[in-house]
Structure 1
């Protein structure tokens, strides 16, 4: 005997999965953008270090860029932590759905 899962729970699960997929896609795009920016900044720093005629203005500019990269890295870490909580929520929803389904099947079998 099979039991159909109520459409409300199914819809909720689909919405949660779609939201997770979208958030994961946004996170991946952000990480790739941050990595590309970081690589460009590293190349600029290497080029600036190799040229001996750099002035103090360039050092100030480098400090600003380095601070920006550090801020971006901090943002990436916080985004990863935020998405980890979404995964935990989805896992909890799935476990709740599993428990509910198991209870319904058990009650139907007892009839």
Structure 2
């Protein structure tokens, strides 16, 4: 009885998200029906992972501690500030007192 409940839980956590992801893949690749394809390919405002990917990652992290570290590192990188020009000399200079702005051409 306990084994059957464990198998049912695994089916819900693994097979259902896999099946939904497979159906999504077929719809997006074929483009039919068009309304569903547009709905599936539209970007979410949050920009996060889908439910199937999140469930799969959490299941993977449950069995593998290294995956948990990877997920936490990704969350940390999302919070940290990312400056493209960090360490490089500034190409622009804005002097608010005199009202001038200097932009150097990139070589």
TM-score (norm 2): 0.36
Higher helix share: 1
The structure whose RCO (Cα within 8 Å, separation 6+) is larger is 1
Higher strand share: 2
TM-score (norm 1): 0.35
